[in-house]
Chain A
Amino acid sequence: MSTTLGTTSAVAINDVSVRFRSKRAETTAIEQVSLDVAPGEFVSIVGPSGCGKSTLLKLVSGLLRPSSGSVTLLGEQVRGPRHDIGFVFQRAALLEWRSARRNILLQAEMRGMSSAEAGRRADELIEMTGLTGFENALPHELSGGMQQRVALCRALLHQPRVLLMDEPFGALDALTREQMNVELHRVWRETGTTVLLVTHSIAESVYLANRVIVLTQRPALVKEVIDVELPGERDYSATMARPEFAAATARIRDLLGAVTGHD
């Protein structure tokens, strides 16, 4: 997808550990994790609750500094909050007083992008994510799925080469979640963005990704990396029915069962 980068990874996490110090004790959230994500790759990260998956994304975005090790994003070491990424959280985090479209455009305003270009891009994304007709709705008038679409458009407005998603569909109902998966898959195919997705859903992690990283319980270590042997273009139901899909999900379930202790 990106030719300028050549063989450089989009994201390189090298031997990173994160320790939090509280009054009494020091806890290790992440222990010597290494991970390479190729440009244009879709990588899912799964692991038990509270294992430090979200922490990993904060490291990549520069919102959090590692206690040791280093993170490189697009060939440049991460030293503070990075502006060349898009971030989607579990909660849409929309500004209540702005319409859907103006929430998307916040990205452009904060960056000082030209408003004509930003407007065109916003309209493109609105169409791509099926928000047409809801441009002027306020967040509280939108359903959870719609709100999350707005958050996705906002994260993609500046055409970031890396998109970080922290359980973006965790708060949605199962059906909406499937729809969002299909849409995210299409958006990823269309934009060629590198995606790092943290999720609790095993099916979601496999359906969307090229690779699934399974983390252990806190402190998080990389337990195993699963290569997803599925075609690039993935129809939802057909993918679910494939033996490769079943094998990958079964393997992940086993691994998670092993790390959480109920197998």
Chain B
Amino acid sequence: MKPVSGDRWRGVAERSWRPAALLAACLVIWHLITVTGLVEAYLVPSPARTFDLLVDKWSYLWGHTWVTTYETILGFVIAGVLGVLVAVAMVYSRTVESTAYPILLFAQVIPKIAIAPLFVVWLGFGFEPKVIVAVLMAFFPVVISTVTGLKSVDAEMLELAATMGGGPVKTFVKIRFPAALPHLFAGLKVAVTLAVTGAVVGEFVGSNEGLGYVILQANGNMDTPMLFAGLIVISVVGILLFLLLDLAEQLMLPWHSSRRGAAVTTLLAKGGT
């Protein structure tokens, strides 16, 4: 039933070599484009230069990375908690559902980048407007996935629960919520990548720290190596947060993950985010 650990690692290796090879191929193409002079070096810096810069300016980048990561995690956690609470209210109350849905949709459809300046006006240049944008970005997928999860519970299971007489609270805690967790995690994984975007968008609009600020500065100075370095660090932050959630999912829902696939496959399946 459970694979021996040696097999497991071989499995991971088998699954990872293709994406690793693709990544390597991209780096080689990037390198070739820059060495052949096909594109001017000030437009696209070589991979080597970019990585040199990553190493040289590590402490500078690290400080800004920490700011963005902090905003992302804070926004993600707030969105996660709020999203689950709103979803529960929507599933248990028709009135809440019909009242909240249009507003939710409106909040989702409105371009976050367009309302971000408003938060800067209201809350200044601190971390608050960034967190709010991150929350707004991450909130919607959490609500939708949790609602789907809570509604996906087997109708017969709920009937059975009714004959067991545990009441709505026990039914929720022991049956409905755990059953919704796979959906919830899918939503959280999308949400965390959106929270990164939200934090960076918030920084674009007005800030003096964070990776969004780094990129904006680099852009203004035509410092493409720094721009590329900033992009790479942002991607790494997003991927690490995603993998962290994937790991949490595997630890918390072994019954589910054992039938799904491992982190790398999921990552590729959700590639677009």
Judge whether A87 and B174 touch: CB under 8 Å: no
Stretch at the interface among A1-9, A92-100, A199-207, A227-235: A92-100
Bound state CA distance, A111 and B159, in angstroms? Answer: 15
Chain A residues lying within 8 Å of B154, measured Cβ to Cβ, are 91, 93
Within A7-38, the residues touching B (CB, 8 Å) are none
Query: Are the C-beta atoms of A111 and B160 separated by less than 8 Å?
Result: no
Tell whether, in the assembled complex, residue A140 and residue B255 are in contact, meaning their CB atoms are under 8 Å apart.
yes
A82 at the interface (CB under 8 A from B): yes
Complex Cα distance, B165 from A107, in Å, reads 9
Which chain A residue has the least Cβ–Cβ distance from B252? A97
Picked from A63, A137, A138, A141, the residue with its CB within 8 Å of the CB of B159 is A63
Q: Which of B163, B170, B178 contacts A85 (CB 8 A)?
A: B163
Considering the complex, give the chain A residue whose CB is closest to the CB of B253: A97
A83 is an interface residue with CB less than 8 A from chain B: yes
Closest-CB distance, A166 to chain B (whole angstroms): 9
Chain B positions 163-179 with a Cβ under 8 Å from a chain A Cβ: 163-166, 170-171, 174-175, 178-179
Which residues does chain B contribute within 8 Å of A140, judged by CB atoms? 255, 259
| Interface assignment of B270: CB less than 8 Å from any CB of chain A | no
Count of chain B residues with a beta carbon within 8 Å of a chain A beta carbon: 22
Scan residues 156-201 of chain B and give those whose CB is less than 8 A from a CB of chain A: 156-157, 159-166, 170-171, 174-175, 178-179
Count A-B pairs with CB separation below 8 Å.
61
The DSSP consensus for interface residues of chain B is helix
B256 interface residue per 8 A CB criterion: yes
Q: Does A81 contact B (CB under 8 A)?
A: yes
A87 touching B160, Cβ below 8 Å: yes
CB contact between B166 and one of A63, A89, A109 (< 8 Å): that residue = A109
Residues of A within 8 A of B253 (CB): 97
Q: How far is it, in angstroms, between the C-alpha of A82 and the C-alpha of B159 when the chains are bound? A: 11
A116: interface (CB < 8 Å): no
User: Given the complex, which residues of B lie within 8 Å of A91, measured CB to CB?
Assistant: 154, 156
- The answer to whether A111 and B166 touch across the interface, beta carbons within 8 angstroms, is yes
Q: Which residues of A contact B165 (CB under 8 A)?
A: 81, 83, 110-111
Closest to A160 in B: B163
Q: A93-B154, A93-B157 are in contact. Are A63 and B163 (CB under 8 A)?
A: yes
A61 to B156 CA separation, bound complex (whole angstroms): 13
In the bound complex, how far is the Cα of B154 from the Cα of A74, in angstroms?
29
A228 CB → nearest B CB, Å: 28
B256 touches which of A82, A83, A93, A96 (Cβ 8 Å): A96
Nearest residue, chain A, Cβ from B157: A93
- Would you list the 6 A-B pairs with minimal beta carbon distance, nearest first? A110-B166, A83-B165, A110-B164, A81-B162, A97-B255, A93-B156
11 other A-B residue contacts (CB within 8 Å) besides A58-B159, A95-B179? A63-B159, A83-B164, A83-B165, A86-B163, A87-B159, A87-B163, A91-B154, A91-B156, A93-B156, A97-B256, A111-B166
13 contacts between A and B (CB under 8 A): A81-B162, A81-B163, A83-B165, A95-B174, A95-B179, A106-B164, A110-B161, A110-B164, A110-B174, A111-B164, A111-B165, A137-B1, A140-B255
Chain A residues at the B interface, C-beta cutoff of 8 Å: 58, 61-63, 81-83, 85-87, 89, 91, 93, 95-97, 106-107, 109-112, 137-138, 140-141
